[in-house]
Every structure is written in C-alpha cells, then in structure tokens.
Structure 1
Amino acid sequence: MKKTIFRLSVMLLAAAVAAGCNNAAKKAEEAAAAEQARLDSIAAVEKAQKEKIAMEKMTTLPEEPVFNIETNLGTIKIRLYSKTPKHRDNFEKLALTGFYDSLLFHRVINGFMIQGGDPYTRDTSAAAVAKYGQGGPGYTIPAEFVPEYTHKKGAIAAARRGDIANPKKESSGSQFYIVQDEKTCAQLNGEYTVFGETISGFEVIDRIASVATNARDLPLKEVRIKKVTLDLPEEAEGTEKAQE
C-alpha cells in the first residue's frame, strides 16, 4: 500500500513538473513572439518613415537623376532614364531608403554582365545562398521597353523571371544587372527593360566581372554594394549637409 502511494506521489510530482515545464516553455514562446512582434512593429515604422522621406526627396529630383553605386571594388556612377519612369522611380525609392545597402553582386559572368539587388544576399549562410537570385521587395514592375535604350556597355537593366512563368516580361522589383559586353547582351534587347546607363566607373564593371566565381556564377570573394547614394552637385551637397 505504501509503495503504491509512493509511486502515485512520484507520478503526480512528475506530471506537475512536466506541466510546469510546458507552461514555462509556452510562456517563453509567447514572450519571444511578443518581442518579435514589437521588433517587427518598430521596423515597420522605421520603414514607413524612410519611405516618406524618400518620396519627399523624389519630388525634387531631376527627370534623369544620377546615383553612385559604391562597392568594395570601386564606384559605378549611373544615370536613370526618364522614358522608363516606373523603373526610375522604383530605383530611386529603393536607393533612398537604403534597400541596396550591403547587398551582393551575386551573379557575375565575365564577358556578359554583373547582377545584384537581391535582399537575400545580406545573409551569407548556406541556406540563404541557395535562395540567391530569388529575392525582391515583394512586387514586380511592368515592362517598359524603349527601342533607343539598348544593352550597350554599362547599361542598367532589370532582371526578371523567364517567359514561361512571366509572359508579360515584368521586371524584378529590385534586382538589376549592368552590361559588361554589348555584343553578348545584344540578344536581350526588347526582352529586358533597360532603365539607365553608366556615366563613369566602366573599369569597376570590368573589375567586378573578372573576379573568380563558382559553378553558379557567385563570386568566390564577396563583391558587395556598400551603399547607393544620390549624386549631388557640390553646391547642393553642401546645402544638404548644412541642413542635417
């Protein structure tokens, strides 16, 4: 009888401990979820503030603004085209909100082009690397084909999914490529939206294109976009700094 009571007591104690552990684990999960929700809320507010500032800034930009793509291998200065306004405005917004900062050129083919703008490339873990080329801001942009905008050296064009999955040839919301070789990229004219061109830094394009890559065209040593900044005349730049 005593043994039975003892065993029952042990069982009840074990059940109580298990229940306590489960409750503790549940509370920990709830706390973690609440903290993540708080962080997500803060991030959403910060994103909204950045976008508001960017939209206000965009109203003051010229029709064909100039941006600097600053990388760890040098700076590429580009001008965006006025006849592809959807792509121009989208690039402006992403650049001014810091979307491109710290992203990789994740696909590099010497004698062809260099490609970047995938937000997945902020994470260099093996799991993330498998996703390179698939990331974006969650939307696409309608094609804007302009015959005079061709894949000349230094042209900036929007990456996109293939025709079968994307018959309207809509562009990625953030991924872009820069032409290194006009001849090999001529086949892309009228198929991918060209929305800007390189003004200076052609040697940087060649430098990036010449880095060693693996079988997936991913550079073996990181080629990272430090930041994309608006190129301002010296007078305007001095005024803007004084206002900060």
Structure 2
Amino acid sequence: MRKALITLLLGVAIVGSAKPKQKPAVVRLETTAGIIRVELSDETPRHRDNFLKIVRDGVLDSTLFHRVIKDFMIQGGDPDSRVHQGADGSIVSPSRDKVLGEGGLPYTLEPEFRLPWLFHERGALAAAREGDDVNPEMRSSSTQFYIVYGRSFGETSLGKVRGALEENGIEMNYEMWQTYLTRGGAPHLDGTYTVFGHVIDGMKVVKAIQAVATDSHDRPLADVILLRAVVE
C-alpha cells in the first residue's frame, strides 16, 4: 500500500511539474499598407529561430517589399532595399537602377520541408532562395521571405499541377487538394521552398500589396515599406 501511494504521489508530482506547451511565436509586420501578423511554425525550428533573431536585430526594419507579383506573392527582407531619411526629411529609397533581391546575411539555411502539414496555401509565410541552378540544395535566404497570395484553381488546372509535382516525387494529399481548390495558393512551389509560418491577421493587407502596380522587375512603382517587424 505504501509503495502504491509513493508511486501515485510521484506521478502527481511529474504531471504537476510538466511545463505547459508554449504558444507559437507571432511576429507583427508593420507596413505602409497596414499590419500583417504571422505565426511561426514549431515544425521548422531553424527558420523560426532565424526569423525571430533577424526581427529582434532590426534587420527587416525599413526595407521594401521589393518583388510583388499579382495573384502570386509579395517578397521582402532584402537589407539592400533599406530606405533612409534624407536631409530634407523625405524618405529616400534605393535607385530603380539597382536590382534588388540579392541581399542578405552571409549564410543560408538548410531547407525544412514539412509536407503535408506546411504548404503554399494562401497566407503561407515562406523563405525565398536562389534558383536551383546555383542552389541545388534548395537552401533558404537568411533574411528574404515571401507571403503567398496565389490564385484559385479548378480541378483540371490543379490536377495538372499535382501531376507535375508527382513527377518529382512530391505528393499532394486530400487536405492540400481541397485547400488549393477552396482557398487557392501556389502549389507549384511545394517541396522546393520552405514554408515556416502563416498569416493569422492582415490578409486584406497582403491582398492590397499584391495588387499594386509594378515595374519590369516586379518592384512596386510606389514603395511599400516594412517599417518595423516586432515579436509579440
């Protein structure tokens, strides 16, 4: 009896001392178009921790959404796109002769593909990277990210995308299929770019940004600035 009581008390002590599960980290992106809040996935710890670090270090502050493609995505995080205040108090942005999208910190991240749990549905937060020709390991940029807006799909068009993915050994399960049919996204990127979070508030802002007029390099004609990124 005494042994049973001790065992019971130990069990209660262990349960009582167990740490409560922490909520996923949330980052607030304050832009000139409004506020976007993103939740980072614990399934991608390298990308989560890196994003939290660059946010806390101010790396993303005052940078542009330098690449915007309607019905696809909005991309930012290039330190070379940082704006500054001129002597007259006006905002000075990088020359349009300067090609943006090449900047970042001097390291890359190993990919963390987590299909079918994290995929390129509308609102997905993912890491940008260099192309396969120079980056066959599909390593992610240290700072650049994009948020998917994507487009809607019918069964025929989505079936073609699924077929192309399957040729490369990437499966689109039932949940992914239904999500792309009902919400839309960019399924052709699945399994090749790391998704590490999603928008929890502010998709109207994303929608507005992805619809702005752009130049031949997909840079918005009127600057869209990420004023500040904050860990909540």
**Shorter-chain TM-score above 0.5:** yes
Q: Superposition pairs for residues 28-177 of structure 1, below 5 Å?
A: 62=22, 64-122=24-82, 124-126=93-95, 129-147=97-115, 148-177=117-146
Q: Report sequence identity in percent.
A: 44
- Contact conserved, 1:86 with 1:141, CA < 8 A, in 2? yes
Partners of 2:81 and 2:23 in 1: CA distance = 30
Partners of 1:187 and 1:84 in 2: CA distance = 20
- Contact conserved, 1:63 with 1:82, CA < 8 A, in 2? no
- The residue type paired with residue 126 of structure 1 is S
- The residue type paired with residue 150 of structure 1 is F
Q: Superposition pairs for residues 190-229 of structure 1, below 5 Å?
A: 190-229=191-230
TM-score between both structures, scaled by the size of structure 2: 0.70
1:97: how far off? 1.1
Partners of 1:107 and 1:203 in 2: CA distance = 18
- Contact conserved, 1:120 with 1:131, CA < 8 A, in 2? no
User: Which runs of 5 or more structure 2 residues have no equivalent in the other structure?
Assistant: 1-20, 84-92, 152-183
SS at match of 1:99: coil
User: Which runs of 5 or more structure 1 residues have no equivalent in the other structure?
Assistant: 1-60, 232-244
Aligned length: 170
- The residue type paired with residue 224 of structure 1 is I
- The residue type paired with residue 114 of structure 2 is V
Cα deviation digits, residues 214-233 of structure 1 (max 9, x gap): 111000001000101112xx
1:62: how far off? 4.1
- Contact conserved, 1:104 with 1:122, CA < 8 A, in 2? yes
Shift in alpha-carbon separation, 1:181–1:125, aligned structure 2, 3 A: closer
Higher RCO, 1 vs 2 (CA within 8 Å, ≥6 residues apart): 2
Moved beyond 2 Å, runs of 4+: 123-127
Partners of 1:208 and 1:126 in 2: CA distance = 20
Partners of 2:99 and 2:124 in 1: CA distance = 26
1:126: how far off? 2.7
Relative to its length, the structure with more helix (as a share) is 1
- Rg larger for: 1
- Contact conserved, 1:63 with 1:81, CA < 8 A, in 2? no
Q: Aligned-pair RMSD on alpha carbons?
A: 1.6
TM-score between both structures, scaled by the size of structure 1: 0.67
1:184: how far off? 5.4
Cα deviation digits, residues 55-84 of structure 1 (max 9, x gap): xxxxxx946201100100000000000010
- Contact conserved, 2:121 with 2:185, CA < 8 A, in 1? no
- The residue type paired with residue 178 of structure 1 is I
